[in-house]
Structure 1
Amino acid sequence: MAHIRVRPNGRIQFDLHLYGCRFREGTKMIATPKNLASAKATLKQMNAEIDLGSFQYRDYFPKSKKVAKFEQLQRDKYPDRQYPFFDTFANQWFERQKSKWKNSYRDTVRLTLDKYLIPNFGNTLVNELTLTHVDFFRQGLVEGEKSDGTRLLSNRRINNILWPLVAIVSLAAEECKFEYPLRRYRSLKEEKAESHPMTINEVRQFLLHVPKEWKDYFIVRFWTGMRSCEVHGLEWQHIDFDHRLIRIRQNWVNGETCDVKTPKSRRELKMCDTVFAAFKRMKDAGLAESNFVFNGPSGTPLETHFVSRKLWYPTLRKAKLALRRPYETRHTAAVLHIAAHENPLYVSQMLGHSDTRLLFEVYAPYVANASRTDGQAFDSLMQSEGLA
């Protein structure tokens, strides 16, 4: 049972006796009549749940160090439960699945389990997890805010957090033989991806202000549209000067090389004169002594965080350009290639897309005149027929 007592400093304290142990949780509430009434209401709810056997310590004291002790006592009390707890099954699921994933994705899933899912559902039996639990959890993620009042997590990030939960419960229902509770679960509608490519003049300004030793690095990014991980994983063996080709064969992610993102990402890029000259300058400067084309101060391949903090954002500020992600070099390359009337199929293959659909969905609005999707041709026809 649970009780209320007032400490010598005048603050309210909850005193609980659970599974033969005493738990004391202090509060910051001074024992005023109003606060006492509120505490008694909470106490009444606690005792009701204790009587029903549904009390969960973390629901009332989520940041308490005693949560783990309570949950262990709870499990020890009922060792012969038919179904496993969520955290036990989730960890087993992770061990079974991790060999199928790249190391970077494996680390992302592990972080999702440890930061979000296990703290919230760990002490719930897999067969007792309901759609209501998931809805309340997801709503809490949706309502999360940064210090400036903007949303903490996007719908896409929230969907990615909940995907392992859905997979775990689905597998548990199949293997433990209980009714799958998330049949009516639907993912959040994801926001349309926005891009903020640079204009030709902005690219010129950026290259004028970037440190001289890094100019060729950004020329390669602006001219080819390669992903950060592709550029950083580029080795000199992938540069074919004889045939003027860049062979995309691997990525550099979290301090190690790994396979490219998709089968279409494994490709050959033709080097124009500007890109060819950039690689030739780097080779003539002795940079080819390292296996990797681009290396950081420590001599290891470049890391995305280093490029962002030390190169990209400082140069944008110096050039007085609007702040945007380093990934916009890729968007910029796509837009400027379309604006230059390059074949859309060529541009799509250059970027490693599976087809041209994404190319026009994302980038066409920025180059309407070049892609002839601004309605001017239709308007000219109507005017020539005297209908406008």
Structure 2
Amino acid sequence: MGNISVRSNKLVLEFRAQGIRCREQTRLLDTPKNRKRMEKLLTIMEAEITLDTFDFCKYFPTSKRVAKFAELQQRKQTAYHHFNSTDAPTLKAFSETWFNEKEIEWRKSHKQSIEGILESHILPAFGKMKISAIKKQDILTFRAGLAKVQTRTKSNLSPSRINHIMTPLRMLLNEAADRYEFTSPWKNIKALKIPRTEVNPFSLDEVECLINTAPDDFKPYYTVRFLTGLRTGEIDGLHWDKVDLDKKQLYIDQSLVKGEMTDAKNDGSHRVIKLTDRVISALAAQMKATKHLGSFVFCKKDGKHFNYQTISRVIWEPMLKRLNLKYRNPYQTRHTYATLLLAAGESPEWIAQQMGHSTTTMLFRVYSRYVPNLTRQDGSAFDRYIKMKGEIHA
């Protein structure tokens, strides 16, 4: 919204047009009549700015900003003629150019993700449209449609997934707008708000039941998942040369992502995990079963790595059904590990290191409500500490 100010007893119009902040002084004295006149003028100008029909030079022909706005208008006209010609690029045509230029920057897994989004969502909706013809309303309608898409489990796409799908579209439109000098329709479109991370950990009793229910050749796999907090890609990509049973350690520096071994998720994910005796026993049993098959700790009978989607559908989901447990994705094994460590009273700093977090912030933000000792708010622990005169020992 624009406003009216005063300088040297003369009225000044303040507004923003085409991304430029303007402050134009008039020759009108600050009187009620002149203020009313300027308010009416400002209302008309703001309407034109909203409709993209505002001509700065018409209102302020002697302003020092005339040249700047004339340049912007010329660029706009050039882009308009280019994109409304018969050979104007479609989004599909431009996406091919953009993809070929960008793929050198991406990991194979990210490249495949972008390809999937383009083929499944963006190109079917916008592929045949001239890139200049895509409007803000088209984008919002497309996003609203994504909210109605159902997954294999009959649930709607999450806000996080919708944002992930929208990102390549935003990049395409903004890059084209910058390259061909037109105004991107991606204006004031905010990403959907992501709800708090869904954490639904299992109790210790449920963990024991799940491990016992697992097929014999998968008992070590789920023991390690539940008692190390490894991410799916980390455990499925775990190699024997990263396992040191004598030192009771795992060395995590890589992950299996869409069938390809890549570096770990981030710097914090490079870590050494201390193993309990139970995990050591599980890995020792697994060593007898699979070490002769190849480099993967957990693998199929031919030595090839697991497909996490297949394992989830064939092993994980039937386990939950047999125990009449509400469905939770396999990643909850990691959340379970964190909550069990916190409940056991382990140091938050040590837990964060085990999990591959750079700080303890996420631990308290995500997991604290599942640990009674951390969520108690009655002051009893502090009261006991005072009564013991600070002599409480761990």
TM-score, length-normalised on structure 1? 0.72
Once the two structures are superposed, residues 41-77 of structure 1 have per-residue CA deviations (whole angstroms, 9 ceiling, x without a partner) of xxxxxxxxxxxxxxxxxxxxxxxxxxxxxxxxxxxxx
CA contact (8 A) 2:290 2:303 kept: no
Q: Structure 1 residues 147 and 331 mapped into 2: Cα distance closer, same or farther (>3 Å)? A: closer
Once the two structures are superposed, residues 68-114 of structure 1 have per-residue CA deviations (whole angstroms, 9 ceiling, x without a partner) of xxxxxxxxxx9954742211111211111122222222111111111
Once the two structures are superposed, residues 168-195 of structure 1 have per-residue CA deviations (whole angstroms, 9 ceiling, x without a partner) of 1111111111122212111111222211
User: For residues 380 and 344 of structure 1, what CA distance do their matches in structure 2 show?
Assistant: 19
Q: 1:267 aligns with which of 257, 267, 271?
A: 271
What stretches of structure 2 of length at least 5 have no aligned partner? 1-82, 388-394
Q: Structure 1 residues 291 and 379 mapped into 2: Cα distance closer, same or farther (>3 Å)? A: closer
Equivalent in the alignment of 2:181: 177
Equivalent in the alignment of 2:222: 218
Alignment of 1:80-229 (within 5 A): 81=86, 83-144=88-149, 152-229=156-233
User: For residues 91 and 314 of structure 2, what CA distance do their matches in structure 1 show?
Assistant: 42
User: For residues 276 and 150 of structure 2, what CA distance do their matches in structure 1 show?
Assistant: 46
User: For residues 290 and 115 of structure 2, what CA distance do their matches in structure 1 show?
Assistant: 41
Q: Give the secondary structure class of the aligned counterpart of 2:327.
A: coil
User: For residues 342 and 320 of structure 1, what CA distance do their matches in structure 2 show?
Assistant: 31
Opposite residue 259 of structure 2, the aligned amino acid is G
CA contact (8 A) 1:142 1:151 kept: no
User: For residues 306 and 105 of structure 2, what CA distance do their matches in structure 1 show?
Assistant: 27
User: For residues 158 and 108 of structure 1, what CA distance do their matches in structure 2 show?
Assistant: 13
Once the two structures are superposed, residues 202-226 of structure 1 have per-residue CA deviations (whole angstroms, 9 ceiling, x without a partner) of 1111122112221111111111000
User: For residues 155 and 282 of structure 2, what CA distance do their matches in structure 1 show?
Assistant: 41
Alignment of 1:313-352 (within 5 A): 313-352=317-356
CA contact (8 A) 2:293 2:303 kept: no
CA contact (8 A) 2:290 2:297 kept: no
TM-score, length-normalised on structure 2? 0.71
Q: 1:281 aligns with which of 277, 285, 297?
A: 285
Once the two structures are superposed, residues 109-149 of structure 1 have per-residue CA deviations (whole angstroms, 9 ceiling, x without a partner) of 1111111111111122222222111111112222445799x
Equivalent in the alignment of 1:307: 311
Once the two structures are superposed, residues 260-280 of structure 1 have per-residue CA deviations (whole angstroms, 9 ceiling, x without a partner) of 211211111112221122222
User: For residues 193 and 249 of structure 1, what CA distance do their matches in structure 2 show?
Assistant: 25
CA contact (8 A) 2:240 2:291 kept: no
What stretches of structure 1 of length at least 5 have no aligned partner? 1-77
Q: Does 272-281 or 334-343 show the bigger shift?
A: 272-281
Name the larger-Rg structure: 2
Q: 1:257 aligns with which of 255, 261, 280?
A: 261
Deviation at 1:377, TM superposition (A): 2.1
Q: Structure 1 residues 264 and 288 mapped into 2: Cα distance closer, same or farther (>3 Å)? A: farther
User: For residues 352 and 237 of structure 2, what CA distance do their matches in structure 1 show?
Assistant: 21
Q: Structure 1 residues 302 and 364 mapped into 2: Cα distance closer, same or farther (>3 Å)? A: same
Opposite residue 375 of structure 1, the aligned amino acid is Q
Q: Give the secondary structure class of the aligned counterpart of 2:371.
A: helix
